[in-house]
């Protein structure tokens, strides 16, 4: 079978490395997915989104990959910087839905 990236509650990387954060979503009917970054004491900050008719989308230093077959989402951060240290959440919503459903967060720690 196809391997699926495991969700890790914490990820530690060195400055300059590439980071990959994984997320398994719950609802096959979900058609819109978002990655948020949450720094300590702050609200979630939008990073990048992707709709279900796509399997890859790139932003500035970030790439989101969507695998609908195994209901898996990943966030790749290139050249990770200390300012990227935060908790990262994936969120999903259905086409006609209103509520965001958040996955388990991953705490990214970047050391210089």
- Which residues sit at the interface with another protein, rule CB under 8 A? 31-32, 34, 36, 42-46, 49, 51, 89, 91, 93-105
Whichever of 5 and 31 has its CB closer to another protein, that residue is: 31
| Residues in Cβ contact with 31 at an 8 Å cutoff, skipping those fewer than 6 apart | 51, 52, 53, 93, 94, 95
Minimal distance, residue 35 CB to another protein, in Å: 11
Provide the minimum distance between the beta carbon of 63 and another protein in the complex, in angstroms, as a whole number: 18
The smaller minimum CB distance to another protein, of residues 20 and 100, is found at 100
Widest CA span of the chain, in angstroms? Answer: 44
Smallest separation, CB 86 to another protein (Å): 13
Question: Phi-psi bin for 41: left (phi > 0), alpha (psi -120 to 50), beta?
Answer: left
**Separation of alpha carbons 107 and 89, rounded Å:** 9
Nearer to another protein, 18 or 45 (CB): 45
Determine what percent of the chain falls in helix, strand and coil, rounding each to the nearest 5: 5, 55, 45
Q: Which is nearer to another protein, 20 or 101 (CB)?
A: 101
């Amino acid at each position: 079978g196809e391997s699926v990236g495991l969700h890790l509650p914490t990820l530690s990387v060195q400055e300059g490395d590439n980071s990959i954060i994984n997320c398994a979503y719950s609802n096959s009917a979900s058609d819109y997915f978002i990655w948020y970054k949450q720094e300590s004491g702050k609200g979630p900050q939008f990073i990048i989104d992707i709709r279900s008719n796509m399997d890859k989308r790139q932003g500035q230093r970030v790439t989101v990959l969507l695998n609908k077959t195994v209901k898996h989402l990943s966030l790749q951060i290139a050249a990770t910087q200390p300012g990227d240290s935060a908790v990262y959440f994936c969120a999903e919503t259905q086409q006609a839905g209103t509520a965001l459903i958040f996955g388990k967060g991953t705490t990214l720690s970047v050391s210089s």
